[in-house]
């Protein structure tokens, strides 16, 4: 009876959150420009309701009561435990702080846009200072063990700590620098797809075919255009992806759709019966990202994938693909090249972009770095890790929207995603020795079903660490990513 009441309350909160998600999706995909003002107040009104319901005292008492109820099943107990943790966390935010933060964010977002226009970090710096001050305050509100940055990371990757990420990234830095060094002594292979035009409507058809093959259910989702690709959902039966087109680069839209499709398979794989409950929600951003990157990279940049997929792009772009081969497509998707922009980075150098941001954020939060010195620190690290000179702020410290959105503690989850992905994929290959053959023949559903069964169906019932242990038999181990990447690059760069 009490548990039923708990479910109903959670589902009502979910109704509000998902309504907000639709308001936001529409804002990115459909909304006419003049609609922005009223839309933002509508989102804000719904957010206040969601917050009030999430911190409702009666709900708190119900959770407390249920957390002592020994008659509950294991799954019910786990739901209560997570909801209680969420509830207690929400309580730590007083409404004064929430208001201050949200007004600082909207100021920072405007300042960031202005700074981008002028290509000048100084315009953004004062607003960012405010954000950093508030984020430092937030760590105190939330409380933390060992390092204040832990409090922020916990929001995106529950359980992640500076200690763990520092130690992980030390190894990553060493191994990937070594790999990068090896590659830098080799010739860069040719991207034979470059320098041609690829009509967007044809690219779109290819992405639809790819998504279909992956097992994305179009009767429980849809794809649209948006300036920044993303995946969102309004329940497990309405999970939408967006993509963007670049007619100069065939693989930009394709890999973006595969990436978002990977996110979408996770959300479509959650169980409708768990709507609104922790068991019906994703574990962490790192695990979410593992799903998108597994499809984008481990599958979508593999030789096996292009064995079956080259004919799809060839069908839609016969002229551009004339004389080219499956192998050429594989190569074009795996060229390593240090560059300044994170979102355009390859699978290897990407992680240096992340480690730079992680390091800088951590120092901003702990107070060993101030915003006024951020640009210099940024540029020094790009020189140190990637050997690149940052010539302008837009190519440097202004490139990401995260800080303007008040998202700090987020970046590491991108790398965690890649590392989890490699480990999961290795396990999938072990359990399905014919997986590569299947992929060579375009049969991807077997992998989707494996992920559904091993990961998606559980929602948050297991933590990131637990699901990794459960699925692969060990903790997160960077060596799987390292091996995967080295093996692939060896065949391309010949060593």
Minimum distance between the CB of residue 16 and a second copy, rounded to whole angstroms?
Answer: 7
Please identify which residue in 6, 9, 10, 15 interacts with a second copy, judged by CB under 8 A. 15
Encoded tokens for 234: 């309004």
Minimum distance between the CB of residue 105 and a second copy, rounded to whole angstroms?
Answer: 20
Interface with a second copy, residue 45, by CB under 8 A:
yes
- How does 331-346 read in b/e, with b if 16+ C-beta sit within 10 Å? bbbbebebebebeebb
x/- contact string, 244-273, with a second copy (CB under 8 A)?
----------------------------x-
Candidate list 130, 138, 157, 260, residue with the active-site label? 260
Which CB, 39 or 438, lies closer to a second copy? 39
Which CB, 215 or 409, lies closer to a second copy? 215
Any idea which residue has 């309004």 for tokens?
234
DSSP 446-467: HHHHHHHHHTGGGGGGS-HHHH
Minimum distance between the CB of residue 58 and a second copy, rounded to whole angstroms?
Answer: 16
Interface with a second copy, residue 242, by CB under 8 A:
no
Which CB, 234 or 317, lies closer to a second copy? 234
Interface with a second copy, residue 219, by CB under 8 A:
yes
Using the contact rule CB under 8 A, the part of the chain among 10-18, 120-128, 177-185, 326-334 near a second copy is: 10-18
Interface with a second copy, residue 113, by CB under 8 A:
no
Q: CA neighbours within 13 Å on the CB side: how many for 128? A: 27
Q: How far apart are CA 294 and CA 285, in angstroms?
A: 14
| Stretch (H or E) spanning 244 | none
Q: How far apart are CA 167 and CA 156, in angstroms?
A: 19
479 is catalytic: no
CA angle (107 as vertex; 102, 112 as ends), nearest 5: 120
Minimum distance between the CB of residue 56 and a second copy, rounded to whole angstroms?
Answer: 14
Which CB, 12 or 182, lies closer to a second copy? 12
Interface with a second copy, residue 238, by CB under 8 A:
yes
Interface with a second copy, residue 221, by CB under 8 A:
yes
Which CB, 39 or 100, lies closer to a second copy? 39
Interface with a second copy, residue 19, by CB under 8 A:
yes
Q: What are phi and psi of 276, to 5 degrees?
A: 85, -10
Interface with a second copy, residue 275, by CB under 8 A:
yes
- Residue 461 CA, chain-centre distance (Å), reads 20
Q: How far apart are CA 235 and CA 162, in angstroms?
A: 33
Please identify which residue in 3, 42, 159, 446 interacts with a second copy, judged by CB under 8 A. 42
Minimum distance between the CB of residue 98 and a second copy, rounded to whole angstroms?
Answer: 17
Burial of 267 (0-12, 13-18, 19+ CB in 10 A): buried
Any idea which residue has 């004389």 for tokens?
323
CA-closest candidate to residue 30, choices 240, 239, 226, 241: 226
- Residue 398 CA, chain-centre distance (Å), reads 19
Please identify which residue in 7, 28, 46, 159 interacts with a second copy, judged by CB under 8 A. 46
Contact 419, 481 (CB under 8 A): yes
Within 22-41, the residues that bind a second copy by CB under 8 A are 22-23, 26, 30-35, 37-39, 41
Please identify which residue in 155, 208, 209, 217 interacts with a second copy, judged by CB under 8 A. 217
Within 48-67, the residues that bind a second copy by CB under 8 A are 49
| Stretch (H or E) spanning 222 | strand 221-225
Strand pairing of 231-235 and 238-243?
A: antiparallel
Encoded tokens for 34: 């003049």
Minimum distance between the CB of residue 15 and a second copy, rounded to whole angstroms?
Answer: 4
Using the contact rule CB under 8 A, the part of the chain among 78-86, 152-160, 211-219, 304-312 near a second copy is: 211-219
Query: In DSSP terms, which residues pair with 235 in a beta bridge?
Result: 238
Please identify which residue in 237, 314, 339, 429 interacts with a second copy, judged by CB under 8 A. 237
Long-range CB contacts (within 8 A, 24+) of 351-354: 351/172, 351/176, 351/415, 351/418, 352/173, 352/176, 352/385, 352/386, 354/411, 354/412, 354/414, 354/415
3-state secondary structure of 376: helix
Which CB, 26 or 65, lies closer to a second copy? 26
Minimum distance between the CB of residue 420 and a second copy, rounded to whole angstroms?
Answer: 28
Which CB, 46 or 142, lies closer to a second copy? 46
Which CB, 40 or 67, lies closer to a second copy? 40
Contact 322, 310 (CB under 8 A): no
Minimum distance between the CB of residue 273 and a second copy, rounded to whole angstroms?
Answer: 12
Interface with a second copy, residue 280, by CB under 8 A:
no
Q: Could you tell me the strand order of the sheet in which 238-243 lies?
A: 221-225, 238-243, 231-235
Burial of 319 (0-12, 13-18, 19+ CB in 10 A): exposed
Minimum distance between the CB of residue 218 and a second copy, rounded to whole angstroms?
Answer: 7
Interface with a second copy, residue 452, by CB under 8 A:
no
Which CB, 273 or 322, lies closer to a second copy? 273
User: Which residues contribute to the site for a second copy (CB under 8 A)?
Assistant: 11-12, 15-16, 18-19, 22-23, 26, 30-35, 37-39, 41-42, 45-46, 49, 217-222, 234-235, 237-238, 272, 275
Which residues are known to be catalytic?
A: 260
């Amino acid at each position: 009876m009490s548990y039923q009441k708990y479910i109903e309350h959670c589902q009502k909160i979910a109704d509000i959150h998902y309504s907000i998600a639709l308001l936001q999706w529409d804002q990115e995909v459909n909304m006419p420009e003049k609609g922005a003002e009223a839309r933002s107040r509508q989102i804000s009104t719904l957010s206040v309701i969601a917050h009030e319901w999430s911190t409702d005292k009666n709900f708190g008492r119900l959770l407390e009561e249920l957390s002592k109820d020994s008659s509950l099943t294991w799954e019910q107990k786990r739901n209560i435990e997570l909801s209680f943790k969420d509830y207690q966390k929400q309580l730590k935010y007083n409404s004064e702080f929430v208001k201050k933060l949200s007004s600082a964010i909207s100021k920072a977002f405007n300042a960031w846009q202005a700074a981008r226009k002028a290509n000048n970090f100084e315009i953004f710096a004062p607003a960012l200072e405010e954000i950093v001050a508030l984020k430092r305050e937030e760590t105190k509100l939330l409380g933390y063990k060992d390092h204040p940055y832990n409090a922020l990371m916990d929001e995106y990757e529950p359980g992640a700590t500076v200690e763990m990420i520092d130690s992980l990234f030390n190894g990553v830095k060493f191994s990937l620098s070594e790999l990068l060094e090896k590659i830098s002594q080799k010739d860069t292979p040719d991207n034979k797809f470059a320098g041609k035009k690829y009509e967007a409507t044809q690219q779109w058809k290819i992405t639809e075919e790819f998504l279909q093959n992956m097992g994305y259910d179009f009767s429980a989702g849809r794809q649209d255009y948006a300036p920044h690709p993303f995946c969102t959902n309004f329940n497990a039966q309405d999970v939408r992806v967006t993509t963007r087109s670049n007619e100069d680069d065939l693989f930009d839209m394709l890999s973006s759709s595969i990436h978002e499709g990977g996110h979408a398979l996770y959300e479509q794989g959650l169980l409708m019966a768990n709507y609104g409950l922790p068991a019906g929600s994703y574990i962490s951003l790192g695990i979410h990202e593992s799903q998108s990157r597994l499809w984008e990279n481990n599958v979508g940049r593999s030789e096996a994938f292009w064995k079956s997929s080259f004919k799809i792009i060839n069908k839609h772009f016969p002229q551009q693909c004339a004389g080219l081969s499956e192998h050429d497509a594989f190569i074009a998707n795996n060229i390593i090249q240090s560059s300044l922009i994170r979102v355009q980075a390859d699978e290897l150098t990407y992680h240096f972009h992340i480690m730079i941001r992680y390091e800088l954020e951590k120092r901003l939060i702990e107070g060993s770095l101030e915003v006024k010195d951020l640009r210099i620190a940024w540029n020094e690290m790009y020189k140190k890790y990637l050997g690149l000179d940052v010539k302008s702020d837009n190519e440097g410290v202004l490139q990401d929207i995260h800080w303007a959105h008040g998202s700090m503690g987020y970046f590491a989850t991108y790398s965690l995603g890649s590392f989890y992905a490699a480990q999961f994929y290795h396990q999938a290959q072990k359990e399905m020795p014919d997986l590569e053959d299947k992929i060579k023949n375009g049969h991807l559903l077997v992998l989707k079903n494996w992920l559904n069964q091993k990961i998606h169906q559980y929602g948050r019932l297991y933590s990131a660490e637990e699901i990794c242990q459960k699925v692969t038999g060990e903790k997160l181990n960077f060596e799987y990513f390292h091996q995967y990447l080295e093996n692939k690059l060896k065949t391309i760069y010949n060593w």
